């Protein structure tokens, strides 16, 4: 069986991880996105899913204290799972945005509020030090991240944080942060149909600086389309057929082929999809297939 190690490894500072990880947002159920409908995810099932991910070689998880629904917290579920697991797992969390007790989003945290967010993550995860903390830039209003990132750099020097990263940023923010402290990863929305990080040069900048680029929403909305047999891109369908793979696997494989510094953090609550996502790391696309997928203007809804 394929494991997360099949995709290769990358080093976040001094922490070597397999390139396929796990995004924890879906663990909280629908309420994370402000929709309280639907039954909350079963805690035992969530912990079992995480343990299965660890068994399959997943050794880094993306989470945040603001990943919660009325009855579930991603950090709490991860804490439970890690308490019953003997191996090492790198946990990357985020600070900056926040949600009140009712789930409503709050404005971007002020620099003086970031320590409280870091300490909340420490408490929820049951740790004395956070492996990676990403400063998540929330909205276009924060043009300079220097003051916010400087606070996190101070908390890193104080020992509360091991490594620092960025999320939802532009290339100039990476440059600004690097003048303050080392950056081990950058998280931005990126995928076959959303390549703004290519257009801005962000993906290449990260590669040049030895920084992991960690796309989120790499297969956003695809599960819904795939469940209805509605993969909208004829190119993806063609490549998937050639490899006896799913469209989601092709999209994840395309992302990983973008560079050795590119990681993947697909999230799911379905054990079958978990196995499928991890197996995508073994999918090797040919140069011709990559050229086909990279070609502009080829997306088609028909067969």
Q: What is the pLDDT of residues 63-87, one digit of tens each?
A: 999 999 988 999 999 999 999 999 9
CA 3 from chain centre, in angstroms, equals 18
Residue 231's pLDDT is: 73
Region of poorest pLDDT, from 30-34, 159-163, 292-296:
30-34
Residue 232: which pLDDT band, with cuts at 50, 70 and 90? confident
Asked whether the predicted pLDDT for residue 227 surpasses 50, the reply is no
| CATH architecture type of domain 17-183 | Alpha-Beta Barrel (3.20)
Provide the b/e sequence for 253-287 (b: ≥16 CB within 10 Å).
bbbbbbeebbbbbbbbeeeebbebbbbbbbbebee
The per-residue pLDDT for range 233-256, each reduced to its tens digit, is: 899 999 999 999 999 999 999 999
The rounded distance, in Å, linking the Cα atoms of 228 and 76 is 33
Across residues 39-43, what is the average pLDDT? Answer: 82
Residue 138's pLDDT is: 86
More confident residue, 112 or 227: 112
Asked whether the predicted pLDDT for residue 263 surpasses 70, the reply is yes
Residue 297's pLDDT is: 53
Across residues 104-120, what is the average pLDDT? Answer: 95
Residue 32's pLDDT is: 57
Residue 299's pLDDT is: 47
Q: Are 19 and 90 in contact (CB under 8 A)?
A: no
Residue 266's pLDDT is: 95
The rounded distance, in Å, linking the Cα atoms of 29 and 86 is 27
Across residues 145-156, what is the average pLDDT? Answer: 98
Residues labelled as active-site residues: 67
């Amino acid at each position: 069986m394929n494991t997360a190690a099949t995709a290769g490894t990358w080093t976040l500072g001094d922490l070597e991880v397999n390139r396929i990880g796990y995004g924890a947002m879906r663990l909280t159920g629908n309420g994370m996105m402000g929709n309280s409908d639907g039954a909350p995810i079963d805690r035992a099932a969530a912990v079992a899913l995480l343990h299965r991910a660890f068994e399959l070689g997943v050794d880094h998880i993306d989470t945040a204290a603001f990943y919660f629904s009325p009855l579930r917290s991603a950090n709490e579920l991860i804490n439970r799972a890690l308490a019953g697991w003997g191996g090492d797992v790198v946990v990357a969390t985020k600070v900056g945005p926040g949600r009140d007790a009712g789930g409503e989003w709050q404005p971007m945290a002020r620099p003086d509020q970031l320590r409280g967010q870091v300490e909340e993550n420490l408490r929820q995860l049951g740790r004395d030090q956070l492996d990676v903390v990403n400063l998540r830039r929330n909205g276009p209003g924060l043009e300079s991240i220097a003051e916010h990132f400087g606070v996190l750099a101070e908390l890193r020097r104080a020992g509360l944080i091991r490594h620092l990263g960025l999320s939802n940023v532009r290339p100039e923010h990476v440059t600004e942060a690097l003048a303050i402290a080392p950056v081990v990863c950058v998280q931005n929305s990126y995928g076959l149909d959303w390549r703004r990080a290519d257009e801005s040069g962000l993906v290449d900048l990260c590669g040049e600086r030895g920084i992991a680029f960690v796309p989120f929403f790499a297969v956003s909305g695809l599960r819904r389309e795939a469940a209805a047999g509605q993969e909208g891109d004829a190119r993806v369908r063609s490549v998937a057929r050639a490899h006896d793979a799913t469209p989601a696997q092709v999209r994840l494989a395309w992302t990983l082929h973008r560079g050795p510094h590119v990681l993947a953090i697909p999230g799911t609550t379905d054990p079958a999809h978990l196995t499928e996502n991890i197996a995508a790391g073994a999918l090797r696309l040919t140069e011709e297939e990559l050229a086909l997928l990279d070609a502009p203007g080829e997306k088609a809804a028909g067969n």
